[in-house]
Structure 1
Amino acid sequence: MGFNNFRSSNERHIRFTPESDKIIFPTEKPSEPEINYTPELAPGCYNSTFCEYVPNYPKEYVKHTIKNMEDLKYLSFVDESPEISQRIDLPEDDSLCTVDSTVIFPKSARNKQNEWLFIINENSFLQGVRIERCVAENTSCKLIEGFAEGYMTSCRQKFIYRQLAAITTNGTVGPDWFSFPSSCCCHVKFNGNPLQRIASARMSINNNNNN
């Protein structure tokens, strides 16, 4: 019997199913609804690599899996929250890019094969991933002093792969690697005249030698 079918199979009389009015005889078993193991993406997740809300999340299947797979508990984890890290770590210099740091509990995510899979995440089994996102990606970095002439800066989102327990498209459960936003870095690119760049480098060397 399927994980999400809890109806009794020992019925003693003829009845009709509400879905199709098909007659069910005492010797027959009601048909079991099939589970769709492919996540449906909410509109807010189209441009992301993970989703915390999934309309068709197989909650009962997940609960059954957590209960019956003892070894699964070794994959449960929750990253340290940004607030705790800030209290423990030494004071940091201002970041060149404004970021938003938080711990998320994804219900689906995109793996290395670019497939969206369900992630095991319920009250009795949590997988909390700390992420860091650019608040204003592709905008100029925050620089205290003017940058060298001919160079342009921009904030770029960086990603990292994390291993989480997931449900494959055929219903099996196991670890897989998923992409999550990990940091926002300042990217520097030279857009000026190459000769000007060489001249600036020589001038810098001469100044260092004179000092």
Structure 2
Amino acid sequence: MTLKLHFLLKMLAFFMLILQTTARPMPNADMMNKLKSIFKVGDGIMVYNTGTSNEALEDDEIVCAERRAGKSYCKEVENYMEATRLDLIDPEQFEKFRAYFTDDMAMPQNIATRMEIDAAEKPSSIKTNVIYPEGVLSEDSSWLLVVQHEQHKQGILVEECETVDSATEENSTLPMENNSKCKQNFNYRKLVVLVNGVMKEEMVKLPSTCECDM
């Protein structure tokens, strides 16, 4: 691999020499900046790729820490307000999807009480809370912007494993064969998303439950 890069570098130097001797214009600044974003030149003649840029990985402009960590949602999308311009959306669109703008925790008291009991029995590696995702992975594996307006929010109850397939904190002192293993489960549900400035319903992937083998 090093020999190939060495050969390519020598060829590049050869062509640059030809350009200079034939009085052809040198590459402009934009071209040179583009090359610098792809290759990095170290000491000597070593040329190596610095890796794939964020532009290639996240060209849909939905960027967040959760996505980079491999999760199916973004709590906060960079430049969310600029990307959605929710302040310009017709109020009738919000009214059309009014049923979606609520929190999952708004539930009958008996169910809420049962959830509190269940939560007390769960390992400390399992966390249950309500999130307001601004970005989410769709059923066809594309990233979408979720409608989260100041007065129209979609609160989603999720249960997540803090550590997948590893010992829980409660069992960390037990022999390895007795340590619990956790598996993250997901489900698909409808949320209101924004596509080309228009609200619509889409099935999206979100964490549902965390199963730990005790």
Structure 1-normalised TM-score?
0.57
| Aligned equivalent of 2:63 | 41
Alignment of 1:20-169 (within 5 A): 38-46=60-68, 47-58=70-81, 61-65=85-89, 67-69=91-93, 70-80=95-105, 88-89=113-114, 91-92=117-118, 94-95=121-122, 98-140=125-167, 154-168=181-195
Cα pair distance change 1:66/1:38, threshold 3 Å: farther
Q: How many residues align?
A: 146
SS at match of 1:110: strand
Cα pair distance change 1:130/1:48, threshold 3 Å: same
**How far has the Cα of 1:161 moved from its partner?**
1.3
Amino acid at match of 1:173: M
Task: Check the 8 A contact 1:39/1:118 in 2, yes or no.
Answer: no
Cα pair distance change 1:152/1:49, threshold 3 Å: same
Task: Check the 8 A contact 1:39/1:116 in 2, yes or no.
Answer: no
Structure 2-normalised TM-score?
0.56
Q: C-alpha distance in 1, partners of 2:139/2:64?
A: 21
Post-superposition CA distance 1:104-128 (Å, at most 9, x none)? 1111100111110100001111100
Task: Check the 8 A contact 2:126/2:210 in 1, yes or no.
Answer: yes
Alignment of 1:183-198 (within 5 A): 183-186=209-212
**How far has the Cα of 1:159 moved from its partner?**
0.8
Give the greater-gyration-radius structure (CA).
1
**How far has the Cα of 1:51 moved from its partner?**
0.7
| Aligned equivalent of 2:30 | none
Q: Which has the higher helix share?
A: 2
Task: Check the 8 A contact 2:182/2:213 in 1, yes or no.
Answer: yes
Post-superposition CA distance 1:3-55 (Å, at most 9, x none)? xxxxxxxxxxxxxxxxxxxxxxxxxxxxxxxxxx9443124422111112111
SS at match of 2:117: coil
Unaligned stretches of 5+ in structure 2? 1-58
Q: C-alpha distance in 2, partners of 1:63/1:85?
A: 38
Unaligned stretches of 5+ in structure 1? 1-36, 189-211
| Identity, % of aligned positions | 18
**How far has the Cα of 1:76 moved from its partner?**
1.3
Q: C-alpha distance in 1, partners of 2:189/2:110?
A: 19
Post-superposition CA distance 1:67-96 (Å, at most 9, x none)? 2313122321211189x8896227347336
